[in-house]
Amino acid sequence: MKANRSRRKFLQQLGGSSLLLAAGTLKTLAAKEGTATRILPHKSKIRANDKIRIACIGMGIMGHADIDSALKVPGVELSAVCDLYTGRLERAKEKYGKNIHTTRDYRELLLRKDIDAIIIATSDNWHARITIDALNSGKAVYCEKPVVQKISEGLPVIQAQKKTQKLMQVGSQRVSSITYRKARELYKSGAIGRLNCIEASFDRQSALGAWEYTMPTDGSPQTVDWDRYIESTAKIPYDPKKFFWWRNYRDFRTGVTGDFFVHQH
């Protein structure tokens, strides 16, 4: 009974969000065969003035994925994007509309009063700085994992959130995936019996798996704001690999630990 009450309270607290989740008791869910989709609809009506205007800093793979997910929520609008590569800004206008504001300087977005929340999907070395600046500017923040590049950056980020009391979420899709929530329910219900051993693996034997993404042919010091990109590192000549394949380089990433292990916490 206590577990049922806790679950009911959790569902009630979800408020105005739409969420795919299992809505029965654990044993009931486990007893059903096949795949079932259960939708908890938002009850409040979205009025004309009920808008959340977002902006995204970093328009690579996860920037697009995060925006696409956010725009599925009623009332969310994309106002602006920021990236250091001109080609991504041009693509944003093609995909999301010519009226989308684009810039290479993320600070422009923080000054805008019509932006409520910021998505941060840059290279790891920029996460802490932009997060702190965004919180202090009064914006809610969704920052891609890992939230910081260096452990020493963690406490300043926490302090900024506590001081401003602005909403902040760290993006870690595997940990918050409904797939893993469902697996936990099946395990807790006893549907899959006693676990004696778990074996897991990741297949990374591909160019994408090695973080060698498709590289644009027009990348150059003219189309990439290289000086801003290396602002917090030693001055080095323009290197397209260190910009487009940043996950392979210590100055800009957290490596396998930050990219994969963080999903398992």
Kind plus residue range of the DSSP H or E element containing 2: helix 2-13
Residue type, 137: S
Strand, helix or coil for residue 1: coil
Contact call for residues 144 and 66 (beta carbons, < 8 A): yes
What number of other Cβ atoms are within 10 A of residue 112's Cβ?
Answer: 15
pLDDT at 24: 42
pTM to 2 decimal places: 0.78
Q: At what angle do helices 127-136 and 154-164 cross, to 10 degrees?
A: 10
Report the distance separating Cα 115 and Cα 53, nearest Å: 5
Residue 53 pLDDT exceeds 70: yes
CB under 8 Å to 116, separation ≥6 — which residues? Answer: 52, 53, 54, 139, 140
Chain-centroid distance of CA 231 in Å reads: 23
Quick check: helix, strand or coil at residue 119?
A: strand
Average pLDDT over residues 209-230: 94
For residues 112 and 137, give the distance between their C-alpha atoms in angstroms, rounded to a whole number. 9
User: Which residues, other chains included, contact 183 with Cβ-Cβ below 8 Å and sequence gap of 6+?
Assistant: none
104, pLDDT greater than 50: yes
Q: Give residue 41's pLDDT band: very low, low, confident or very high (50, 70, 90).
A: low
> 187-217 b/e with 16+ CB inside 10 Å = b?
eeeeeeeeeeeeeeeeeeeeeeeebeeeebe
The pLDDT assigned to 255 comes to: 87
Domains of the chain from N-terminus onward: 52-171 (3.40.50.720)
Q: Nearest-5° angle of CA 118, CA 147, CA 265? A: 130
Q: Please say if the pLDDT value at position 7 is more than 90.
A: no
